Structure 1
Amino acid sequence: MQLEGKRVVVIGAGSGIGRSVAVAASEAGASVVLAGRKRESLEATAALMKGRREVRVLDASEETQVAAFFEEVGSFDHLVSTASQGASGPLTGMGADAIQRAFAAKLWAPVFLVKHAAPRIAQDGSFTFFSGFRAGRPAVGTSITSLVNGGLEAFTKAMAVELAPVRLNAISPGVVDSGSFWDRLGTEARERLFTDYAKKVPARRVGRPEDLASATLFAMTNPFLTGTVISVDGGGLLM
């Protein structure tokens, strides 16, 4: 899974899975463009890397920003986006703003990224997006999460046909201990969630960012993999 001489754009590189993907791509020899909303977090990721890298602030849910971003970045080989925004709870009590934020991160951002990046990506390049196991295993209170993840997976498959031979794939993680993403729950609720998940899934643990980074490098470098959703969930879909 070597990426020597390749240029990789990582959206969401400031923390968690995105940071792990960026570091792994750099270790595999890639020149990495680190993108996300917070420069400070991106600079922290850059400090972990030894290879060529550049930091660019971007809100991928804003089309004007995405268009300008790729005008500046120019040609590249692979793009990975871990952009995500949760929306949980009963639909009848959910505000429109929360729903719109989930749509922006998981649907509009991928649409804008593909639209403006496609003219600049190498013909043997790839896009890799992150959905989630709730696309295939809904639960009470996950209607919007299930909707946007399922929509992203369908979009990925459709664009794999439309943009061929450029490849598009999706990674579908389960519960991953990705750091600050879970801070909103509080320490006690977070640990309870992790413990419950680990008891139920066949892997008997929650995921780690490096688990997802490894799968992402596989998706980027396997030339016969396209239009596929790769479940990296410890067996979460079997629960």
Structure 2
Amino acid sequence: MKILIVGASGTIGQAVEANLKAHHEIISANYANGDVKVDLGDPESIRSMFKAVGQVDAVISTAGVAAFSGLDDLTDLDFQTALNNKLMGQINLLRIGKSSINKGGSITLTSGVLSREPMHGSSVISMANGALESFVKAAALEIDSVRFNVVAPVFVKETMAMMGMDTGSGLSANDTAKAYIAAVTGNMHGQTLDAPNYL
């Protein structure tokens, strides 16, 4: 398959690419580097990316920007960035990109466990994640030409270690990647795939 990975330079994106590149053609897309550049917050940038890449069999997004901060410390810009980038950026990958997916192909987006298991500081991320999961579930009722799903990772061990957190409750990026592979190679549609369920 020809697979476009948006956010390929991130911790999860690198693991997804590493697990797929032996058997599939990978095109990497990132904000600052990769085979093609894309700004998720800009619909025209997304259109330009798909125009440059052409038809693909699958799109995987492991991208999306959202602030982690206490509710009283979040600014209007923090909320707008999460809405424009993590939420609408990924929704626009589906809206704009579905016509670039070959028959039988798929689009896989990324939310996160904070949609259903929030914690202090997660309000803006939980908002975007929950909205994305609801969108995918509802949009699947109207679109059946392309399969699309959302993967909900838990905290990634590598990121936790970088932040000085206890990694005991986390999942490695490599194990997290298994949920994305299941979404691409399976037949589910309109589902939220919780990463720990695919070990």
Shift of 1:82: 0.8
Superposed, which structure 2 residues align to 1:59-208 within 5 Å?
59-179=39-159, 190-191=163-164, 193-195=165-167, 198=168, 201=169, 206-208=170-172
* Identity over aligned pairs, percent: 26
Ranges in structure 2 where 5+ consecutive residues have no aligned partner? none
Residue 90 of structure 1, CA deviation = 2.9
Letter in structure 2 aligned against 1:221:
T
Deviation, structure 1 residue 141:
2.4
2:59 corresponds to which letter in structure 1? L
Give the whole-Å Cα distance in 1 for the aligned partners of 2:119 and 2:18.
Answer: 33
Matched, 1:34 2:28: yes
Structure 2 SS opposite 1:170: strand
C-alpha distance after superposition, 1:66-112 (max 9, x if no partner): 11111121111111001132322332331111222222222111122
Q: Taking structure 1 as the reference length, what is the TM-score of the superposition?
A: 0.76
How many pairs does the alignment contain? 197
Q: Secondary structure at the match of 1:104?
A: helix
Indicate which of 179, 182, 187 corresponds to 1:215. Answer: 179
* Cα distance per residue 1:140-174 (max 9 Å; x no partner): 32211111000111111122222214111111111
The amino acid of 1:227's aligned partner reads G
* CA distance in structure 1 between the aligned counterparts of 2:96 and 2:109, rounded to whole angstroms: 15
For 2:113 and 2:142, the matched residues in 1 are separated by 25
1:237 paired residue number: none
CA distance in 2, matches of 1:84, 1:58: 12
* CA-to-aligned-CA distance 1:161-193 (integer Å, 9 cap, x gap): 2221411111111110345xx69xxx5xx23x2
Partners of 2:97 and 2:53 lie apart in 1 by 10
2:194 aligned residue = 231
Q: State the one-letter code of the partner of 1:32.
A: I
- Cα RMSD of the aligned pairs, angstroms, is 1.8
CA offsets per residue over residues 20-59 of structure 1, 9 Å max, x none?
A: 11121212x11111000122xx3xxxxxxxxxxxx11111
CA distance in 2, matches of 1:175, 1:233: 11
SS in 2 for 1:194: coil
**C-alpha distance 222-114 of structure 1, shift in aligned 2 (>3 A):** same
Which stretch of the first structure deviates more once superposed, 104-113 or 125-134?
A: 104-113
Structure 1 pair 194–103 and aligned structure 2 pair: CA distance change class (3 A): farther
Cα distance in 1 for partners of 2:158, 2:91 equals 25
Cα distance in structure 1, aligned partners of 2:175 and 2:60? 15
* 1:207, distance to aligned residue in structure 2 (A): 1.1
Question: For residue 8 of structure 1, what is the aligned residue in structure 2?
Answer: 3
Alpha-carbon distance between aligned partners in 2 of 1:67 and 1:101, rounded to the nearest angstrom: 19
